[in-house]
Structure 1
Amino acid sequence: MGNLLPIFHGKGKQVRKSTSSLRQKIFNITKRITDIIASTLFLILLIPLIVLLFFFYTFGQSKGPLFFKQERIGKDRKKFVIYKFRTMEVNAEESLKANEALYLKYIENDYKLNPSEDPRVTSIGKFLRKTSIDEIPQFYNVLKGDMSLVGPRPVIELELTEYGDRVNELLSVKPGITGYWAMCGRSDIKYPERIDLELFYIYNQGLSLDVKIIIKTIWLVFTKKGAY
């Protein structure tokens, strides 16, 4: 973890950079303006993709709603609905909980399942996940203000137990479409290492780090590294 956390020392504790309240306010305002502009542009560009996917979701294994919606926990424990392109069969969450063996594997694998091992994932869903296209609708969450372009990945209620007494630190900022954990490998990095990476961003957030994360994430998406 040493290479991933350049500002890290002691018994799992990270160094929080001292920033003036004015500097923090400027960062927050700049970040929000960037979020609004970027998400608006992406949503406009998204229209042709929605039309194309809507056609594929009218028949076959993928037939059903285009979007997947799930409750996540955001800044200050505010609950919100996250949007993705649906990559699984309809009623996938119910079928997961009904399959005890599969659900246990889901928990043990940090609340994820490899699409190649998950019978609920559709053929087009595997492609959407591998290319990260399924995440694109989250720009709507960014525009709404529930999320930001960069931040810790939004978690479900059950995942909060992984953070223990550090959960309030995780929820002190808006979750992001991408973040330091995503930049360092996404699904290749599991809990508890993921916790240190998510909190590293919170302790060291700034415009330069955001730009670095966005550039690295774009490279990861094109190389399909860490995708699930």
Structure 2
Amino acid sequence: MDIFGGLFGLILSIIPIIFLAVRIKKDGGPVFYAQERIGKNGKSFTMYKLRSMVTNADDLKDTLLEKNELHGGLFKIKEDPHVTKIGRTIRHYSLDELPQFWNVVKGDMSLVGPRPCLKRELAQYSEHDKQRLLVKPGISGLWQTSGRSNLDFADMIKLDLQYIEKRSIKMDLKICFKTIGIVLFSEDPGAY
């Protein structure tokens, strides 16, 4: 399912990615953003996104840590000054995630699963939290389709572990369709 879904998603994404790449390139800097993430069993891999932030955003992140609105290793600022103008639009519709279909095809990620964490986030995980590394990380998941921006770290862990315990093809399909519906029809899809 992941290979078929990943290839299908990648094919459907080619035109939007090309269009967005041209627009991102106008701002200068690279089109794609590659970041080391932690996947199944703590294995690191490179996750790809369309760049939505200024080119030196990672270097500047430490200056905004006190403005972080989430806790437990997650980082989110509503009006993040590092996000570019086009970045706000592509994040609003989660278009920055489209290159992750390549991660699915490569086998690093799944269509559905817990979001892959950063090394610095993993350092703050308890042994209980690390259970979310028992499966491949996903592009979308139960946490994302349950209102990710309105949930805290404890809720994320609870939903990820609930997904791992109850996962099935039926549940994955339900999450995939719910994700599509939220991205296409929600008033605030960036909050899915």
What TM-score, normalized to structure 2? 0.90
Query: Deviation at 1:71?
Result: 0.8
Does residue 1:70 correspond to 2:47, yes or no? no
Conserved 8 A contact 2:17-2:98 = no
Query: Deviation at 1:224?
Result: 4.7
| Alignment partners' CA distance in 2, 1:212 and 1:80 | 27
Instruction: Note the residue ranges of structure 1 that are not aligned, 5 or more in a row.
Output: 1-33
Query: Deviation at 1:57?
Result: 2.6
User: Which SS does the other structure have where 1:57 is aligned?
Assistant: helix
| Alignment partners' CA distance in 1, 2:6 and 2:132 | 23
Does residue 1:111 correspond to 2:75, yes or no? yes
Identify the residue that residue 44 of structure 1 maps to in structure 2: 11
| Alignment partners' CA distance in 2, 1:214 and 1:156 | 23
Conserved 8 A contact 2:93-2:189 = no
1:10-21 equivalences in 2 (<5 Å)? none
**Larger gyration radius, structure 1 or structure 2:** 1
| Alignment partners' CA distance in 2, 1:86 and 1:182 | 20
| Alignment length (residue pairs) | 188
What amino acid sits opposite 1:143 in the alignment?
V
| Backbone CA RMSD of aligned residues | 1.7
Instruction: Note the residue ranges of structure 2 that are not aligned, 5 or more in a row.
Output: none
Conserved 8 A contact 1:185-1:225 = no
Query: Deviation at 1:53?
Result: 2.0
Change (3 A) 1:212 1:58: closer
Say which of 67, 83, 86 aligns to 2:51.
86
Change (3 A) 1:216 1:79: same
Identify the residue that residue 121 of structure 1 maps to in structure 2: 83
Identity %: 43
Say which of 42, 61, 73 aligns to 1:96.
61
1:156-175 equivalences in 2 (<5 Å)? 156-175=118-137
What TM-score, normalized to structure 1? 0.77
